[in-house]
Amino acid sequence: MQAVLFDLDGTLLHTLPDIALCLNETLKLFHYPVCTDEQVRKFVGDGAEKLIERALPEGADNVAEVYAKFRELYGKSAHALTRPYDGIEELLRELKGRGVKLAVITNKPQEATVPSVEKFFKGIFDFIGGDSGMFPVKPDPALARYCALTLRVPVKECVFVGDGEPDVRTAKSAGMRSVSALWGYRTREELFFAGATEFASSPKELQKILTEF
């Protein structure tokens, strides 16, 4: 193992409260019903555009307009409600100390991804990749493969860690090993049916698993 690629929301950071806040602010601007935290939890994972499509009432014809406003509001967010999961910072620093290259691969808009990563993990990651429009979002493996190429690490020597179904499928399509994080926004059963075979219930357990790769 030479590199670990991490999903962001639900894996490194608990971002749901800020996502829900910005989403509901956006929905209110367009006079749509707001979403509960549980609904938002189910809607996230496949990118901001899919989040908006799922949050809007059936038949809404202004998805693009609502999506653009959400990206604007979330991009300006101070992420005041976001926090790293317990044990994540220690895990990252331990991996960094061993010379492992670290990357973020997320479906979050790039303009929100970079400030989030820099706020909580400044100087730790060697590659930060969000939805910039240059690559299709996960589970398409293009960005993950581009990351490996940029880091000069063979895909078979990369491990992909994430809490969602797209992360499992991305790793498989990219030819990488994967570990599913159970502290995020999906259940073990949901991840298992997506094809996950390795699971970590905490960052500490993940650290142990990664030392064996």
Instruction: Note the pLDDT tens digit of each residue in 141-175.
Output: 999 999 999 999 999 999 999 999 999 999 999 99
Domain count, the chain: 2
Domain holding 47: CATH number? Answer: 1.10.150.240
Show the domain range for 201. Answer: 3-14+82-211
Band of the pLDDT at 213, cuts 50, 70, 90? Answer: confident
Band of the pLDDT at 75, cuts 50, 70, 90? Answer: confident
Dihedral angle over CA of 145, 74, 48, 113, nearest 10: 10
In the chain, what is the greatest distance between 2 CA atoms, to the nearest angstrom?
52
Do residues 45 and 143 share a domain? no
Do residues 116 and 178 share a domain? yes
Strand, coil or helix: what is 198?
A: coil
Do residues 110 and 207 share a domain? yes
- Asked whether the predicted pLDDT for residue 77 surpasses 90, the reply is no
Residue reference for tokens 């994972």: 45
The C-alpha atoms of residue 56 and residue 70 are separated, in whole angstroms, by 12
Domain holding 187: CATH number? Answer: 3.40.50.1000
- Asked whether the predicted pLDDT for residue 189 surpasses 90, the reply is yes
Do residues 157 and 56 share a domain? no
Range list of β-strands (E), the chain = 3-6, 13-14, 83-84, 101-109, 127-131, 158-162, 177-181, 199-200
Last residue of a domain, one of 24, 59, 76: 76
Do residues 20 and 64 share a domain? yes
Last residue of a domain, one of 76, 93, 125: 76
pLDDT tens for residues 56-66?
A: 999 999 999 99
Do residues 181 and 135 share a domain? yes
The C-alpha atoms of residue 171 and residue 91 are separated, in whole angstroms, by 20
Do residues 99 and 34 share a domain? no
The C-alpha atoms of residue 92 and residue 138 are separated, in whole angstroms, by 23
* pLDDT value of residue 201: 98
- Asked whether the predicted pLDDT for residue 140 surpasses 90, the reply is yes
13 and 84 in contact (C-beta within 8 Å)?
A: yes
Last residue of a domain, one of 76, 106, 125: 76
Q: What is the average per-residue pLDDT within 196-202?
A: 97
* pLDDT value of residue 36: 97
CA 45 to each of CA 40, 72, 90, 121, 147: distance values in angstroms, whole numbers, following the listed order: 10, 19, 25, 21, 19
Band of the pLDDT at 78, cuts 50, 70, 90? Answer: confident
pLDDT tens for residues 119-139?
A: 999 999 999 999 999 999 999
**HSE-CB of 69 using CA atoms within 13 angstroms:** 15
Average pLDDT over all residues of the chain = 96
Do residues 67 and 89 share a domain? no
Dihedral angle over CA of 15, 17, 19, 20, nearest 10: 150
The C-alpha atoms of residue 208 and residue 5 are separated, in whole angstroms, by 16
Is 9 one of the annotated active-site residues of the chain?
Answer: no
Do residues 35 and 131 share a domain? no
The C-alpha atoms of residue 167 and residue 7 are separated, in whole angstroms, by 7
Do residues 141 and 196 share a domain? yes
Of 113, 112, 171, 120, the closest CA to residue 141 belongs to 171
Do residues 33 and 99 share a domain? no
Residue reference for tokens 């997320």: 106
- Which pTM does this prediction carry? 0.94
Do residues 23 and 37 share a domain? yes
Which of 7, 9, 131, 163 does the annotation list as catalytic? 7
